């Protein structure tokens, strides 16, 4: 008998496996919404499940640079594709969070999309009795190492955030 229906009962639920479970559930819910023309959102959604979190989020970096480049026929991510992404939301260790989540960002909190992400999550979290905090940390674009997954997007000038139970970045290998 498995208990995968509830993240707190799943072995390893506080590791990044919880992000995979959350991503699959979010994708399932949006599939239901987008299947009906009356509930279809105004955004096109792209879900990605990458590997290499402890290794400088290389899975995300490879997906953004190598795979998109291969399929678009260019040496780097097609500028039109990057410009069409309003923002990226990354999930990190969200399985066991004791009613507190952090939104980590690289752009200043005054940024329109960062405000929108934070306010939207805060409003829903308030209804659920969950506290949401915002942590802003500039990145050094020339440094190949990143602390959070969203920083791989930020290096390509895509507004992004990482949602995590962790208030500080996990150790990389």
pTM for this model (two decimals): 0.76
Residue 82 and residue 158: Cα distance in Å, rounded?
7
Quick: pLDDT tens for 100-110: 899 999 988 88
Round the CA-based radius of gyration of the chain to a whole number and report it.
16
pLDDT for 43-52, tens place per residue?
888 777 776 6
Higher pLDDT, 82 or 47: 47
- The domain ranges of the chain are 86-164
Spatial distance between the Cα atoms of 28 and 39, rounded to a whole number of angstroms: 14
Report residue 70 as tokens: 């291969």
């Amino acid at each position: 008998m498995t208990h995968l229906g509830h993240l707190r009962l799943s072995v390893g639920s506080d590791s990044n496996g919880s992000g995979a479970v959350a991503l699959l559930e979010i994708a399932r819910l949006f599939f239901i919404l987008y299947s009906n023309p009356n509930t279809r959102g105004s955004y096109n959604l792209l879900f990605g499940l990458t590997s290499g979190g402890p290794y400088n989020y290389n899975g995300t970096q490879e997906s953004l640079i190598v795979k998109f480049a291969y399929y678009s026929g260019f040496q780097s991510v097609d500028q039109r594709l990057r410009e069409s992404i309003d923002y990226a939301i990354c999930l990190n260790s969200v399985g066991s969070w004791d009613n507190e989540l952090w939104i980590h960002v690289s752009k200043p909190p005054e940024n329109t999309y960062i405000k929108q992400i934070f306010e939207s999550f805060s409003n829903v979290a308030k209804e659920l009795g969950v506290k949401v905090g915002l942590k802003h940390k500039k990145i050094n674009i020339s440094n190949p190492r990143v602390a959070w997954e969203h920083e791989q997007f930020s290096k390509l000038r895509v507004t992004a955030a990482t949602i995590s139970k962790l208030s500080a970045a996990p150790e990389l290998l």
